[in-house]
Structure 1
Amino acid sequence: MATLKLLNIREKLIRVTLTLIVVMTIGDLAHGQSERSSISGVIRSNTGESLPGVNVLLVHQQKGTATDIDGSFGFRELLPGSYLLQTSCMGFEPAHKEIELQAGQELKVELHLQEETYTLNDVVVNGKSATRRVIEQAYQVASVSTKELFNSTADAKAVINRISGVRIQEDGGLGSDINFTLNGFSGDQVKFFMDGIPMDNFGSSLGLSDLPVNLIERIDVYKGVVPVWLGTDALGGAVNIITNRNPAYFDASYSIGSFHTHRASVNGAWTNPQNGFTFRANAFLNYSDNDYKVLAEIVRNNVIVDTAEVRRFHDRYRSGTVKIETGVVNKTYADNLLFGLIASASDKQVQHGATMSTVYGGIMRNSQSLIPNLRFNKKNLFTDGLDVSLYSAFSLNESQVTDTLRGVRYNWLGEATVTTTGDGEVSNDGEYFRTFTTLDEKEWTNQLNVGYALSTRSSLALNYAFSYFHRKAFDAENPELADSKFPKSLTKNVLGLAYKFDFNGRWSMTAFGKTFLTRAKTSKEFDFALETQRVEAVKNYQHNVGYGLASTYFILPELQVKASYEHSSRMPMPEEIFGDGLFIDANPDLGPEQSDNFNLGAEYRFRMKASEFALGSSFIYREADDLIYTVVTIASPKTRYDNLNKTRVLGVEGNFLYRYQEWFRLGGNVTFQDITDQAAFIRNDSYTGSGWQKNYHYGYRLPNKPYFFGSVNAGLSFARVGAPSSSLNLNYFFNFVEKYFLTWTEMGSSNNNYVIPRQTTHDLEVSYSIQNGKYNISAECRNMLDARVYDKYYLQKPGRSFAVKLRYTL
């Protein structure tokens, strides 16, 4: 018995001892943890441009990482002591920095790498900027730096429209609706992002023509295959607008131009290098009367009495946006933890509908958006090689469509005619149809990216994107409208996984898969024109998958080839299913579109003494099923979206660039794309009979899509003109679009009214800067020869215009 007691006592002593050891160990670890330190920072070129993909090594510590897209890097959980930080990047001189790290210190560093110039087979190779690094990805991508355009009045739309394969069609002047086309794909088949964040929920008052060039660092255009990390169901490409992410800067500008156009922009950031607190703000205003001249038919009493050149009189556009972001950067728990708010508003007078056949004098559209958002990202989270980023936003959008004039019709001279009923009373009809519709839209968007480096040559990337859209409509002029009694919602889930493997320094390959799931709730009209005609709530579920492969290989250091294939799907967008409440009808039966995309491209770039040359070309092949396209009727202001059974795109594009030192540059691009209807038979489910019937459009090009277009640009730069730290810049732009058909070619080939003619325009810019770019003034003339140019459904665009811009930077 005594022995048993002794054993129990010994066991208790052992347990107590072990417990004390564990507690003391944990205490030591906790104390050590609290004393652990970190190093984080950013790496830039000697010109201040952030450098992604730079290898950063702590010598003798077996720790290494690479900078992200913003040039940021970080090491955590470091013991106090001496460290040697080493960087390596092709095209830049290696850099070393000795660091003495104190206990618990969160050290911030900023390194500037010097470009390395060396000779390789008589070819001079220089350091690569962020733009160059994006272009060298396996994906078919074009990247444009806006550095040389900061003094112009260009906006994001104008910059993108100069890229090969891209064609932006507009309804008119500033603030008009646009249709973006990339290698045959248009509208929402191409997705837009700002710093990797979807712009779908930004609202109509924050479009491409609203974004000033001073806000943007560069623009990346992905053609065909879209990287998984963008987390989207784009069918044929994506555009990622990278804003200025400098930790501290200030840029303010104001421009005034023709047609009473005014544009103002203020952008800046401030970061405390000690505690990492940062504040960023962007604000910009746009205003234009858009009262340019157009050649139009004059109608009186429903009869065309003349064709004259007149000024647009009801096309004013106003918009304003404030975008702020605040939080902390370069912390041990987050590289970026930022809370943001976007507030924007716009109002626009509507001059006409989808065509210019009918003119309006009272219809208005306006919108307001409020978007709180959260952004987080951390490299080496929990363990080296694990990178995580999260974006979440809640969008509150409200828009109104107003048509409340009674019995009034306008012609292109601005003359108002009062319409009456049969008994002589003033008609109660509106210009188009009486409406005062308010669209209350809410959208919740989340995007999660997780990347993990399996080794120095391979990595995994996971993306999950979720969005929920809800719309409630109310028409004060038609409160009993059946369609307004059914709220509409759209839920979308996108999941993507990619594996990247670098075989060596010349060959890289990425394989990926995606899955898409959507659920739409809307309403539909049944049994039209029958006694049982009614509107009922309906649901639409869609599920699709996508997959693909992208690879790149450097045959020579200066010669790169790329190939990519993707089977992709795109789910309909809210506007395509629900309409816009005015000129776009709803189509609740609209289905997803699918496409098989193949790209093959090559680029040859080299330097010879003081000259730099670049030549590039790519071949595009697309086969799309159930393509979502716009159905337009020449005589009607309304359109709708529908599915086209099968289309094919065959295209080729090319670009070139020549630079001589820093004072002369010449570039250009050309695109040919043959987009044809490939469905031999189509399904007809009309009231007159249903079944499969011959497709009379088979083999013809799709209407209203330019098939051959290009541009050329040239520039001259002169230093020390009139002052020691000054520069003078001249830029010239030429654009060309071959004539194309407004309708199916077999219907309009004999009628010039259905042909949009060949168009050429010439633009000229001149700018002057002093004190190393601190003070700037520029002037420009667009469409110098005052050519008559058209877009979309024979809509006339502005003629010759002038603008002057003042800009101040710090």
Structure 2
Amino acid sequence: MIKHTTYSAIVIIFLILVRSTMLASGQTSTAQISGNVSSSTGESLPGVSLVLGDLNLGTITDIEGNFRLDHIPEGNYELQASCMGFESFQKNVQVSLHEQIKLNIVLQEKTYSINDVVVSGKSATRRVIEQAYQVSSVSAKDMFNSTADAKAVMNRISGVRIQEDGGLGSNIDFTLNGFSGDQVKFFMDGIPMDNFGSSLGLGDLPVNMIEQVDVYKGVVPVWLGTDALGGAVNIITNRKNDYLDASYSIGSFNTHRASLNGAYTNPETGFTVRGNFFYNYSDNNYDVLAEIVENNTIVDTAEVERFHDRYRSGTIKLETGYINKKYADNLLLGIMASANDKEVQHGATMHTVYGGIMRNSQSLIPTLRYSKKNLLADGLDVSLYSALNFSESQVIDTLRGVRYNWLGERTISETSDGQVSNNGEFFRTFTTLNEEEFTSQLNAGYALSTRSSLAFNYAFNYFHRKAFDTENPDNIDNRFPKSMTKQVLGLAYKFDPNPKWSMTLFGKLFFLKAKTSKEFDFALETQRTEAIENSQQNWGYGFASTYFVLPQLQLKTSYEHTSRMPMPLEIFGNGLFVDANPDLGPEQSDNFNIGTEYRLNLNQQHRLAIGSSFVYREADDLIYTVVTVSSPKTHYDNLNKTRVLGVEGNFQYNWKELFHLGANVTFQDITDQAELIYNESYTGTGWQKNFHHGFRLPNKPYFFGNANAGLTLHELKQPGSSLSLNYFFNFVEQYFLTWAEMGSTNDKYVIPRQISHDMEVGYSFQNGKYNLSAECRNIFDTRLYDKYYLQKPGRSFSIKLRYTI
């Protein structure tokens, strides 16, 4: 639970922020018109042209649909707004001296024909997809009434596969076109989520705070400022100026999820307050098929209930400041506080079960966000984000001599002299990790002309950790503070030779410096632990290009040579099931993508989209998780050379606003390509044959897909109501848990083929103000597994209530 002191700190800081921003307000000396432009579905519209008649004064909306016109003389004017695919908008505006007018403009979609080609208004997700980068974008709007979270939204995108340790709150492994873990970076509104802390993960984020999710596959735009190896995910939250969205759901395994999201903006002063609150709880007491062990011997295999897997988390996020001012389009100060605690049922595998191990964490993060278009000069856009994370986490294993089996039965472990063992369940510890992390990201873009522009990014990250174990205060490794400094610089040039063709060239520099400790000469008289430094520098470059062969047929290609520096978890470990590896090096990759997409609209009655892409990766020193099936511990290491060959396809069909049908499928062949490996051991150090050469990497799905279908009936029984019914199908082909060439045919560890079905039904009335929905996941109660052969929840039910204005 979030501590009382944390809540008090949030309230005090929030009041200070509100007071300071109110004192900073002032009246402009000239008349001004500002506001927001959106579509009839509520999506913000960037790139809308606005002109004030008779003054030759105009502007265009930014990425969030905001605009501002300054230095307007007193008088009566006609304001015109226009955008391709939308009906033109006109409004008479009476302007008085020094007046500030706020307008919210809604454009209606229009369909018309040019040489037999149908052109219609483009949604925010459609505009993202049409970038030169290989990117998938999905709107979360249709999922607002479901109990889905951020990871559920992403798991329905082609090329994406999310592996989980178990139920709500479990660790996840995000895989994108063969790359996983921290090789894929996550952002929220373009802001790195690296420093959000362990108490705020993808499984915690409610779908109601998300507007859309953009998944960049392979090549990552410079403006995201990251050292991602295989792609990036940008979660875009609801940026409406005024709204309220509240929901509560209850489901199987005593699962409860609540969220409250909203914003208020003063149309006269531009003062705004935005907030998100969400809470998650689950006992995760679903049934699993497990081995029953007595006296270190397997005596039975039985269906049992998980008994030590409770999870709860809470987060509050507040921002306040000003928007659409002369000095800033956005100037927002914020605070984010989150906390969680989790009972640990097992380690990396289900081989050993625990009944007393706990983990918890708390984070407090003050933030600053600033952006301004046309700063000091026309065409110069600047944005800055900074955050400081103070977090504390604990790993607790303090039971003495107690052992559990999967029936929840306790046994006492004794020493040879009949005394109760002093050992913990895994290893006796009460470790507290105090971590501080500072992140700052600066973006600047300059339009050289209507067809070319430059973009610059500088990202800085500093991480520092102190550890102390009350059960083992003399732990020498904890005497060495651990720190990491990472910097990324990027420069990109974008050029559009003509309206059909767009090209972007870019380069990046990566810097890393880590301070930690290392044990030398293990088991020798000279065994010791010493402080070490690890400094690394790499660079990258690439291009992205797109060409419209026809208005409805788009081709894309991109290439990138890039690097990814190790993350703190990978170098320092986590104090429990992940060991440190201070020698871990950066991974490098050459990524090539080529794709195509075809879209056809027939009189707004039938809409069809078909897409496909090919992926080729060659990665050196790939960072991967080393797993032993019989051990709960893992660590990270470098794999000399790997190759990824992949292809994916997607299909989407819509009939009016009544019926939709979609599917996607992914095949990815990820193989170890190193012929020789360097082995360091007591029996002999040197290069030796790699027996894994040519085999697929273990524990990574290689063939998977999903499909969905839905029916929506409008104006059912009463005006402004709708009834929706949705079906989801998921498929994962069987894959190996360990290297495929190891073991005999009968005892290979294989995660079996998995097929599951989900259903949801929802009813809305008063134009979506009140909503009720019900879901059933894994309808046929199929036994589903994920990484390391961990069993996922069986059939579950949930209902959700939602209110929005």
TM over 0.5: yes
1:768 aligned to 2:763?
yes
After superposition, residues 262-273 of structure 1 pair within 5 angstroms as 262-273=256-267
Q: Which string of whole-angstrom CA distances, capped at 9 and with x for unpartnered residues, describes residues 484-508 of structure 1? A: 0000000011111111111121111
**2:749: which partner in 1?**
754
**2:381: which partner in 1?**
387
Q: Which string of whole-angstrom CA distances, capped at 9 and with x for unpartnered residues, describes residues 156-198 of structure 1? A: 0111001000000000000000000000000000000111111
**1:621: which partner in 2?**
616
**1:142: which partner in 2?**
136
Which runs of 5 or more structure 2 residues have no equivalent in the other structure? 1-26
User: Aligned partners of 1:406 and 1:575: how far apart in 2?
Assistant: 28
Task: Give the letter for the 1:520 counterpart.
Answer: A
Correspondence for 2:474 among 480, 488, 496: 480
Task: Give the letter for the 2:429 counterpart.
Answer: T
**2:557: which partner in 1?**
563
Alpha-carbon contact 2:664-2:706 (below 8 Å) kept = yes
1:736 aligned to 2:731?
yes
User: Aligned partners of 1:98 and 1:512: how far apart in 2?
Assistant: 45
Alpha-carbon contact 2:349-2:632 (below 8 Å) kept = yes
Correspondence for 2:110 among 116, 123, 130: 116
Deviation at 1:68, TM superposition (A): 2.2
**1:634: which partner in 2?**
629
Q: Helix, strand or coil for the counterpart of 1:745?
A: coil
User: Aligned partners of 1:756 and 1:201: how far apart in 2?
Assistant: 33
1:154 aligned to 2:159?
no
Deviation at 1:449, TM superposition (A): 0.7
1:126 aligned to 2:129?
no
**1:780: which partner in 2?**
775
**2:641: which partner in 1?**
646
Deviation at 1:85, TM superposition (A): 4.2
Alpha-carbon contact 2:101-2:267 (below 8 Å) kept = no
User: Aligned partners of 2:455 and 2:792: how far apart in 1?
Assistant: 44
Correspondence for 1:463 among 448, 457, 464: 457
Correspondence for 2:192 among 186, 190, 198: 198
Moved more, 86-95 or 406-415: 86-95
**2:398: which partner in 1?**
404
1:592 aligned to 2:586?
yes
Q: Helix, strand or coil for the counterpart of 2:260?
A: strand
Correspondence for 1:526 among 477, 500, 520: 520
Task: Give the letter for the 2:376 counterpart.
Answer: F
Q: Which string of whole-angstrom CA distances, capped at 9 and with x for unpartnered residues, describes residues 371-400 of structure 1? A: 000111111112211111111110011000
- CA 1:83–1:686 in 2, change beyond 3 Å: closer, same or farther? farther
**1:724: which partner in 2?**
719
User: Aligned partners of 2:178 and 2:423: how far apart in 1?
Assistant: 40
So what's the TM-score if we normalise by structure 1?
Answer: 0.94
Task: Give the letter for the 1:615 counterpart.
Answer: I
Deviation at 1:58, TM superposition (A): 5.0
**1:185: which partner in 2?**
179
Alpha-carbon contact 2:742-2:748 (below 8 Å) kept = no
Deviation at 1:35, TM superposition (A): 4.2
User: Aligned partners of 1:497 and 1:751: how far apart in 2?
Assistant: 54
Task: Give the letter for the 1:555 counterpart.
Answer: V
Moved more, 507-516 or 76-85: 76-85
Moved more, 781-790 or 721-730: 721-730
After superposition, residues 566-581 of structure 1 pair within 5 angstroms as 566-581=560-575
**1:319: which partner in 2?**
313
**2:427: which partner in 1?**
433
**1:444: which partner in 2?**
438
Alpha-carbon contact 1:38-1:332 (below 8 Å) kept = no
1:658 aligned to 2:647?
no
Moved more, 101-110 or 138-147: 101-110
User: Aligned partners of 1:752 and 1:614: how far apart in 2?
Assistant: 44
User: Aligned partners of 1:464 and 1:707: how far apart in 2?
Assistant: 36
- CA 1:589–1:440 in 2, change beyond 3 Å: closer, same or farther? same
User: Aligned partners of 1:82 and 1:571: how far apart in 2?
Assistant: 58
Task: Give the letter for the 1:125 counterpart.
Answer: V
Q: Which string of whole-angstrom CA distances, capped at 9 and with x for unpartnered residues, describes residues 81-100 of structure 1? A: 56554433221223344545
User: Aligned partners of 1:99 and 1:590: how far apart in 2?
Assistant: 63
**2:270: which partner in 1?**
276
**2:323: which partner in 1?**
329
Correspondence for 2:68 among 45, 55, 74: 74
**2:414: which partner in 1?**
420
User: Aligned partners of 1:78 and 1:354: how far apart in 2?
Assistant: 64
User: Aligned partners of 1:58 and 1:628: how far apart in 2?
Assistant: 56
Q: Which string of whole-angstrom CA distances, capped at 9 and with x for unpartnered residues, describes residues 5-35 of structure 1? A: xxxxxxxxxxxxxxxxxxxxxxxxxxxx974
- CA 1:104–1:380 in 2, change beyond 3 Å: closer, same or farther? farther
Deviation at 1:721, TM superposition (A): 2.0
Deviation at 1:42, TM superposition (A): 1.6
1:605 aligned to 2:599?
yes
Alpha-carbon contact 1:73-1:379 (below 8 Å) kept = no
Q: Which string of whole-angstrom CA distances, capped at 9 and with x for unpartnered residues, describes residues 199-245 of structure 1? A: 00111111011011111111111101111111111111111111111
Moved more, 395-404 or 380-389: 380-389
- CA 1:749–1:330 in 2, change beyond 3 Å: closer, same or farther? farther
So what's the TM-score if we normalise by structure 2?
Answer: 0.95
**1:372: which partner in 2?**
366
Task: Give the letter for the 1:490 counterpart.
Answer: M
User: Aligned partners of 2:701 and 2:458: how far apart in 1?
Assistant: 35
1:708 aligned to 2:703?
yes
Task: Give the letter for the 2:628 counterpart.
Answer: T
User: Aligned partners of 1:477 and 1:360: how far apart in 2?
Assistant: 19
- CA 1:449–1:171 in 2, change beyond 3 Å: closer, same or farther? same
Task: Give the letter for the 1:344 counterpart.
Answer: S
Q: How many residues align?
A: 778
User: Aligned partners of 1:748 and 1:288: how far apart in 2?
Assistant: 38
Q: Which string of whole-angstrom CA distances, capped at 9 and with x for unpartnered residues, describes residues 519-543 of structure 1? A: 0000000011110100000000010
Correspondence for 1:360 among 342, 354, 361: 354
Task: Give the letter for the 1:672 counterpart.
Answer: F
User: Aligned partners of 1:752 and 1:163: how far apart in 2?
Assistant: 34
User: Aligned partners of 1:61 and 1:698: how far apart in 2?
Assistant: 70
User: Aligned partners of 1:460 and 1:137: how far apart in 2?
Assistant: 16
- For the aligned residue pairs, the C-alpha RMSD in angstroms reads 1.5
1:506 aligned to 2:505?
no
- Rg bigger for which structure? 1
Alpha-carbon contact 1:35-1:79 (below 8 Å) kept = no
Correspondence for 1:682 among 677, 686, 699: 677
Task: Give the letter for the 1:643 counterpart.
Answer: N
User: Aligned partners of 2:632 and 2:409: how far apart in 1?
Assistant: 20
- CA 1:64–1:542 in 2, change beyond 3 Å: closer, same or farther? farther
Deviation at 1:124, TM superposition (A): 3.0
**1:175: which partner in 2?**
169
Alpha-carbon contact 2:738-2:748 (below 8 Å) kept = no
Task: Give the letter for the 2:659 counterpart.
Answer: F
Alpha-carbon contact 2:591-2:617 (below 8 Å) kept = yes
Q: Helix, strand or coil for the counterpart of 1:603?
A: strand
User: Aligned partners of 1:60 and 1:687: how far apart in 2?
Assistant: 85
User: Aligned partners of 1:596 and 1:61: how far apart in 2?
Assistant: 52
Task: Give the letter for the 1:618 counterpart.
Answer: S
